[in-house]
Amino acid sequence: MNNEGVGGLRLTGHTVLITGGGSGIGLAVAKKLVRMGNKVIIVGRDVSKLESAQKAIPELAIHACDIGVEEQRVLLAEWLKAEYPELSVLINNAGIQYHARFDQDPPSLDAIHHELEINFVAVVRLCSLLIPMLSLRSEAAIINLSSGLAIAPKSGAAIYCATKAAVSTFTRSLRYQLEQSSIQVFEVLPPLVDTDMVRGRGKGKISADAFADQMIARVIKGRLVLHVGKTKLLYYLHRFMPKVAYRIMKHGL
């Protein structure tokens, strides 16, 4: 497994931006990073979720932003440059998942664009917009969340699976480009996590808090490719018995 270490990332005293931080995985990671002595900024589309998160964790900074819209991504970068020029960690966590069969009820062009923009284009653009800021820090990181579905897709969410595979490949290429810089580039492959996106679907989920604990512990250890929970088993299964991995995941929820 490509879990090569680089000495670890000291996850305290950083200024961290988390997309999709108002709930689920993003909020769980934000809560833990605040407790570890970091300044954490969460962004999302739902102002009420952001305000509820800040009420529960007063140390959080919040900023409403639809990262699926280019103009708002640019404004976010400008706001960060003015308000948080010391930004040192970017966590691209936000994601959406639509279920559609192309042979029965194909998604509209707007739905396709929306899923692509949030799941993949926003990751690429935020990296592009914020790398100049991150590169000024002596220790910085980009942490992109892909998915176990980047290894073996399921039938019910073809575009989601494709975007996560794209995030995985993009992250590796970006790591190559930045390997001589101060910016470490991590890919995190979550298993099925108990969040609103998968509410009522699937079994054997882990909690968002458990995921956050595992993710952060492995980042600190310097694991650049983090297979969390069952995605580690899926990685090995796909490596040695790919047909079995595809068969298992084909009808995954």
Task: Please tell me the CATH code under which domain 15-250 is placed.
Answer: 3.40.50.720
Task: Mark whether 246 is an active-site residue.
Answer: no
Q: Is the distance from CB of 148 to CB of 234 less than 8 angstroms?
A: yes
Please report, for the chain, the start and end positions of each structural domain, with discontinuous segments joined by +.
15-250
Q: Which of 98, 160, 176, 246 is catalytic?
A: 160
pLDDT in tens, the chain (253 residues): 344 555 689 899 999 999 999 999 999 999 999 999 999 999 999 999 999 999 999 999 999 999 999 999 999 999 999 999 999 999 999 999 999 889 998 999 999 999 999 999 999 999 999 999 999 999 999 999 999 999 999 998 999 999 999 999 999 999 999 999 999 999 999 998 887 665 545 566 799 999 999 999 999 998 899 999 888 889 888 999 989 988 989 876 5
